[in-house]
Chains A and B, each alone.
Chain A
């Protein structure tokens, strides 16, 4: 069953803690993305990666970090430097857009992070 798996579905973080959100895909996609969703603001790009061991900052990368050690995996760490981390986080993957510009992205089911 191909797709993108995000875990956990719900995550609670205490002030000052780092937390890591998992994202795994078995679609054989080279490109992977992390988006943050807040009510009324749509989706904002945090980080993206086109290939293993390479990733780029998106529009709101401050307070976040990522790694891409394997093609299938793109974990996101929300650090204590992120001042307002409570949000819904979505991971996605696709063919690298430069290869096919009208390619769609496929999304995981999301992780809801709450600071307590």
Chain B
């Protein structure tokens, strides 16, 4: 069965510094990986997705993600954090069996301080 792990409940970073939000996955076959962001009392907004062959994926709002097959990771990164990036971030993997549902991690809260 597919699964996603986000090992950090919260990540703290100062504005202007680079940020990384970690995600590791487990799935048989080709992984289909996604990052979403959620602001308080709002739905999830799509940030980016892994496309086969591109180990560095660029997405919305200056975010990017690095795919590492050997480490089964798909970490979210941004070179310079903004206070407005403070939110809850979810990594997700789509299963490749049956209906191919999206399976989400437990989320990582990013707090960017001024």
* Cβ of A63 under 8 Å from chain B: no
| Chain B interface, number of residues (Cβ within 8 angstroms) | 26
Residues of B within 8 A of A75 (CB): none
Q: How far is the CA of A43 from the CA of B43 in the complex (A)?
A: 11
Interface residues of B in 29-71 (CB under 8 A from A): 30, 32, 34, 36, 41-46, 49-52
A97 touches B49 (CB 8 A): no
Asked, given contacts A42-B104, A48-B101, A112-B41, whether A101 binds B90 with beta carbons under 8 Å apart, the answer is no
Asked, given contacts A104-B49, A110-B41, A110-B42, whether A42 binds B106 with beta carbons under 8 Å apart, the answer is yes
Report B78-97 CB contacts with A as 1/0, cut-off 8 Å. Answer: 00000000000010001010
Q: How far is the CA of A41 from the CA of B6 in the complex (A)?
A: 11
Q: How far is the CA of A41 from the CA of B49 in the complex (A)?
A: 22
Residues of B within 8 A of A40 (CB): 9, 106-107
A97 touches B43 (CB 8 A): no
Residues of A within 8 A of B36 (CB): 107
- The 24 listed contacts between A and B (C-beta, < 8 Å) are A4-B43, A40-B9, A42-B90, A42-B105, A48-B99, A56-B99, A88-B41, A90-B43, A92-B44, A97-B94, A97-B101, A98-B99, A101-B30, A101-B100, A102-B32, A102-B51, A104-B46, A105-B46, A106-B46, A107-B43, A109-B42, A109-B43, A110-B41, A112-B41
A residues bordering B, Cβ < 8 Å? 4, 6, 33, 35, 40-43, 45, 48, 50, 56, 58, 88, 90, 92, 97-98, 101-102, 104-110, 112
B residues bordering A, Cβ < 8 Å? 9, 30, 32, 34, 36, 41-46, 49-52, 90, 94, 96, 99-102, 104-107
